[in-house]
Structure 1
Amino acid sequence: MSDWLNQVFCEDALAGLARIPDGSIDLILTDPPYNLGKDYGNASDQQSVDDYLLWTEQWIDAALPKLKPNGSLYIFLTWRFSPEIFVMLKKRMTMMNEIIWDRRVPSMGGSVRSYSSVHDTIGFFVGRKDYYFDLDAVRIPYDAETKKARTRSIFIGAKWLEVGYNPKDLWSVSRLHREHPERADHPTQKPLEIIERMVKASCPPDGVVLDLFMGSGTTAIAAKRTGRNYVGFELNPDYCAIIAERLAMPEVPAPPPKKKPVPRAKRSLVNS
């Protein structure tokens, strides 16, 4: 039975994971509370350090058996706790990347006693060497100017020149501002652009993505848009309502197209 498929359950993930058969998930993609004291309608982000790390280890150990042997995991973290949690995961999986998400925070304000924090840390882990990874699905196209510069014979017919380059481990994607068309009423919503990249790279078409902390439901939206299945949990009933509303929309909004930079006018060296 797969009555759990394409469902977001409004319940605690530690209890709800019993619904999901072991070895049935292709990708765990999740954004747990960072324990920074935010108000998510409960105390999940307001634990002591010891309690937070113990709770993290509990849900990791409950979730990993749900992965297929060639499955993967992405986890959003803050630099404050990523070292300890990465060590936990390294004892259980193989770490492939530490991805830095540059949130493009404006250069103003911030702490006056330390450097301003403008990034989130993402860990990419796999279960074994033959893990699923579709690089071609997430390549970034070269612009026309770059392709033109690579016209020497050694580059002609090169696949990478046509399909684009491998995304690096520094992702510069703006956080969602309040006026952003993608924005829902959630304090830590992640951009669809980032989540879709992970889903397309690490979950096969018709595969299943698990998110233990759905928040505003962006993981489910990304799965739906890219032809994957999803399952997840969210403790806050208000966020569950937001997820249901977003999933019920006839067309899930895509990220706005990136504006092409306007080329600067060349300055003449001759006075007119």
Structure 2
Amino acid sequence: MTDWRDRIFCEDALAGLARIPDAAVDLIIADPPYGLGKDYGNDSDKMDADAYLEWMEQWVDAALPKLKANGSLYIFLTWRYSPEVFVMLKKRMTMVNEIIWDRRVPSMGGSTRRFSSVHDTVGFFAKAKDYYFDLDAIRIPYDAVTKKARSRSIFVGAKWLELGYNPKDVWSVSRLHREHKERADHPTQKPLEIIERMLKASCPPDGVVLDPFMGSGTTAVAAKRCGRHFVGFELNTEYCELIAQRLAALDVNDVEAATVLVDQVKSVPEEI
């Protein structure tokens, strides 16, 4: 199949990954079910621990061959399973970072028998030592006060001062509340700010990102906004239509393109 880029296939990733040639994508961004019993319109998040970890290994082994030699993987996890999944992945790739996503959850009650969980764990893995990484694309600019404080001659012309600093491994980005303008009808939607940072850092311009669990389609939206190509899979047909609508909304004046996107998603199950 040659027209697999810039498409969302409404099917199980394990069944559909064969559509993608090996060594064809630059980056994988994976936000699999966490094994916590969330409702995604199916039973995909209702496995016991052993079955969940076995399934994680299955899709990882199916997805990794699709990466180019200098490709990378970001994977969202819960603290409950990140240790086991990290060990499994470290047998296959090089671990670059453990990133903590601080969801900025307000302090409003919570468990009285443990500390409140307010973060997601993200693993950043690379296929080889020469993995693609564009730090300059994601530097965070210094404010004017900081720049003024670094006005001594030894700082003049310093690249890091002009372009900004390297993002740390704790990313404090608010979760998407129901009233947030970016929010779609999906229980675990990730913010564009996070996905776009991953794309700009680890997928070259005009490169391809694979998302095996598209959900609300944030990876596809981010890719289109950042000048990258995408491909992904999603089991829930309603989410497939949601993705098409979000992509079409990026260019609300292109009515014809919007229709094609929705029809394309709806027609996929018939092609399988």
Higher helix share: 2
Residue in 1 aligned with 2:31? 31
Residue in 1 aligned with 2:262? none
Alignment of 1:182-201 (within 5 A): 182-201=182-201
CA distance in 1, matches of 2:42, 2:72: 29
Gaps of 5+ in 1: 253-272
Alpha-carbon deviation of 1:251? Answer: 3.9
The letter of the residue matching 2:70 is N
CA distance in 2, matches of 1:250, 1:16: 26
CA distance in 1, matches of 2:25, 2:109: 42
Identity %: 79
SS of corresponding position for 1:232: strand
CA distance in 2, matches of 1:81, 1:171: 20
Residue in 1 aligned with 2:248? 248
Residue in 2 aligned with 1:71? 71
Alpha-carbon deviation of 1:2? Answer: 2.8
CA distance in 2, matches of 1:6, 1:88: 30
CA distance in 2, matches of 1:120, 1:2: 36
Are 1:129 and 2:129 matched, yes or no? yes
Aligned residues: 252
Are 1:178 and 2:178 matched, yes or no? yes
SS of corresponding position for 1:145: helix
Of stretches 230-239 and 243-252 in structure 1, the one that deviates more from structure 2 is 243-252
Alignment of 1:207-226 (within 5 A): 207-226=207-226
Of structures 1 and 2, the larger Rg is shown by 1
CA distance in 1, matches of 2:116, 2:164: 33
The letter of the residue matching 1:18 is A
Residue in 2 aligned with 1:100? 100
Q: Which runs of 4+ in 1 moved over 6 A?
A: none
Residue in 2 aligned with 1:144? 144
Alpha-carbon deviation of 1:41? Answer: 0.8
The letter of the residue matching 1:99 is I
CA distance in 2, matches of 1:251, 1:89: 38
Residue in 2 aligned with 1:87? 87
Residue in 2 aligned with 1:261? none
CA distance in 1, matches of 2:53, 2:182: 32
Gaps of 5+ in 2: 253-272
CA distance in 2, matches of 1:9, 1:182: 23
Residue in 2 aligned with 1:159? 159
Are 1:45 and 2:49 matched, yes or no? no
SS of corresponding position for 1:231: strand
CA distance in 2, matches of 1:83, 1:127: 19
CA distance in 1, matches of 2:222, 2:148: 34
- TM-score normalised per structure 2: 0.92
Q: Deviations over 1:57-79 (max 9, x none)?
A: 00000000000010000000000
Alpha-carbon deviation of 1:112? Answer: 1.1
SS of corresponding position for 1:223: helix
Residue in 1 aligned with 2:235? 235
SS of corresponding position for 1:125: strand
